[in-house]
Amino acid sequence: MDALSSEAIAIITEFTPQGISNTSWAFAKLAFEAWPLIHSLAAESLARKSEFAVQNLASIAWSFASINLKHQPFMESLASAARRISDASGVQGFGGPNIQSLLWSLWRMKRSDLAQAVCRSWLSGSRVPCVLEMGLLIMEGAWKKDHRAEPELLVRLMQSMPVRLMRIALWRIAMVPAGVLPAEAPGLPPCDALGLSEQECRRYMKLARFVQHLESGGHGGSPEDVIEAVERFPKTSGRWLKVAGGDKAVVLWDALRSRPNAAHEVAVEFGALVGYTTIRLGAVCARVVRHDPARARAGCTNVVSIELDVCHACVARHAVDLAGLSGSVEIWVGQVRDLIPRTLEDFGALSLCYLFMDQKGTAFHEDLQQLELLGVLGVEGQVLADNCLKPGAPFFVWRAATSLVLNTTIWAMPEFASEEIEDWMVVCRYTARPDGLPPECPPHVHRLLSQLVWETDNMRTGAERGALHVDDWVAFSQYVLRCFARLGVEARPWTGLPEPPGGHPWDMPLDNARLAERYEAALQHEGGEEEEEEAP
């Protein structure tokens, strides 16, 4: 790679803009810090910035941010180019991922002031960041304790949302002060300034119907009522929400009960979706007598859930509020890797007693390593990860199965409503603090895991586009099983919790079998009511 870098520097003036962006992206993706080449790429980009398209700028910006390059002239030029391109482009289609990723890159390179300036320029021109970049700006406002940032951005989001039901749902549930919230639900925007795909519109439609389900059914008042409302949602919508229910909920519940929060500790979830697991964790923590009575009286935070998507975060906060847990459960908006340092800042070292990872599986090992390096994980802390086989978390599974500081059990279980597809849930307990970075896996293992990561991300992308069938997932999960078997990694079949002499506690979640029974009973009840109505 050093030789390749030297050769590239010699002919860099001959590179096209696409060649410069491709080269910077490739070195950043490989995490190869060829600083002479990187600085040469930055200088060449500055000299020829007028030739670059939006995609080129976004790719170079992401590359430099990923390797923590802080090239001040380049960042200033990047912000200027972002404003210039937004002024020259029409509103229609502005919200695509190319120009919006520039905001994250500027923020990551420690220039949040430039990111804010670019955003203000866009907003003044009736252009808006995409949903995920709004999450970045909300995260920045929360970190700086700017109470005005989030309400203003939420209002702009609901005004720009092209999905009518989601627009109304945000207007009804978003926690925006009365003086900022519009008097009526915003009307249809003139165009899709958010740049949503068809699949994203369908996802937000389903999310809005879930809000309707909560509101029309009068659900709320207790965690159990909201949890049951989530579990009953498929009966009215025909589709199961992608939550950790059934057998997976039992595993999560049992792990938290076996390791309750100490006085200074919190439970953290990566990926809130609609707040289902967040509420379950909050309810368990609320029932445990804290070691420090003063902390219990103060109503301190027990659970934090980090959610990337602003719309999902609003829905999750609404569900938590209906469950009566707003005083002890928080939903943070933003990327996990960006918000992990805030957990240390807000709660201190050794403060995470319980971690549930339910975000992008191919990032599990990186996020866990960041927590370890910051010293946030508590003594004898629990780490649980879902969807480790489908769609998969290859490097994390290998790390959990081979680590000397993790006592790991891998459970094989079907997901509720997808019994034909096997999935893995990994449960780890820290037995000692890690000493530095985890050891690297052997080269042949690394090659196999890297191939699995590539295939896993492709499957996830296909699922987001709605291009996969159940049979595709069955075949893929069997393929991943065979790959892990080659590495000596296998899972234990989940057979349920052994019943104690006095029976299971009343708040134990319903497993797959009991959930299916309740679902069938509800269908039969509805069928009986329809027959009575049709009878003369």
Sorting pLDDT into bands at 50, 70 and 90, what band is 290?
A: low
Mean pLDDT of all residues in 263-281? 94
Judge if 314 and 440 occupy the same domain: yes
Report helix, strand or coil for 254: helix
Judge if 111 and 251 occupy the same domain: no
- In angstroms, the CA 63 to CA 25 distance is 5
User: What pLDDT does residue 480 have?
Assistant: 94
Sorting pLDDT into bands at 50, 70 and 90, what band is 91?
A: very low
Judge if 245 and 393 occupy the same domain: yes
Mean pLDDT of all residues in 246-256? 94
461 found inside a domain: yes
Mean pLDDT of all residues in 25-53? 80
Q: Which of 87, 109, 127 lies at the terminal end of a domain, its last residue? A: 127
Q: Which of 69, 104, 127 lies at the terminal end of a domain, its last residue? A: 127
Judge if 268 and 396 occupy the same domain: yes
Residue-wise pLDDT tens digits, 406-457: 999 999 998 877 778 899 999 999 887 766 667 788 999 999 999 999 999 9
Check whether 89 has a pLDDT greater than 70: no
Q: Which of 127, 142, 161 lies at the terminal end of a domain, its last residue? A: 127
User: What pLDDT does residue 239 have?
Assistant: 67
Judge if 405 and 271 occupy the same domain: yes
Judge if 282 and 412 occupy the same domain: yes
For the four alpha carbons of 384, 211, 343 and 194, in that order, the dihedral sign comes to positive
Tokens 């090659």 locate to 447
Sorting pLDDT into bands at 50, 70 and 90, what band is 92?
A: very low
When mean pLDDT is compared across 46-60, 139-153, 366-380, 522-536, the lowest value belongs to: 522-536
Mean pLDDT of all residues in 206-223? 91
Average pLDDT over all residues of the chain: 85
Residue-wise pLDDT tens digits, 96-147: 455 557 788 888 888 888 888 878 877 776 677 788 888 888 999 898 888 8
Judge if 103 and 248 occupy the same domain: no
514 found inside a domain: no
Q: CB-based contacts of 144: which residues, under 8 Å, 6+ apart?
A: none
Higher-confidence position of 380 and 93: 380
Q: What are phi and psi of 225, to 5 degrees?
A: -70, -40
User: What pLDDT does residue 139 have?
Assistant: 92
User: What pLDDT does residue 238 have?
Assistant: 60
Residue-wise pLDDT tens digits, 369-389: 999 999 999 888 999 999 999
User: What pLDDT does residue 169 have?
Assistant: 95
Check whether 277 has a pLDDT greater than 90: yes
Residue-wise pLDDT tens digits, 294-350: 555 556 889 999 999 999 999 999 999 999 999 999 999 999 999 999 999 999 999
Q: Which residues pair with 11 in a beta bridge?
A: none
Judge if 112 and 250 occupy the same domain: no
Output the domain CATH number for residue 353. 3.40.50.150
User: What pLDDT does residue 296 have?
Assistant: 53
Residue-wise pLDDT tens digits, 453-498: 999 999 988 887 778 888 899 999 999 999 999 999 999 999 999 9
Characterize 186-212 residue by residue with b for buried, 16 or more Cβ atoms within 10 angstroms of its Cβ, and e for exposed: beebebbbbbbeeebbebbeebbbbbb
- In angstroms, the CA 154 to CA 226 distance is 24
What range defines the domain where residue 388 resides?
Answer: 241-495
Judge if 253 and 383 occupy the same domain: yes
User: What pLDDT does residue 421 have?
Assistant: 86
Cα angle for residues 295, 301, 304 (degrees, 5° grid): 155
User: What pLDDT does residue 487 have?
Assistant: 94
Distances (CA, A) of 412 to 228, 235, 533: 25, 26, 44
The domain total for the chain is 2
Mean pLDDT of all residues in 76-100? 58
When mean pLDDT is compared across 57-61, 253-257, 354-358, the lowest value belongs to: 57-61
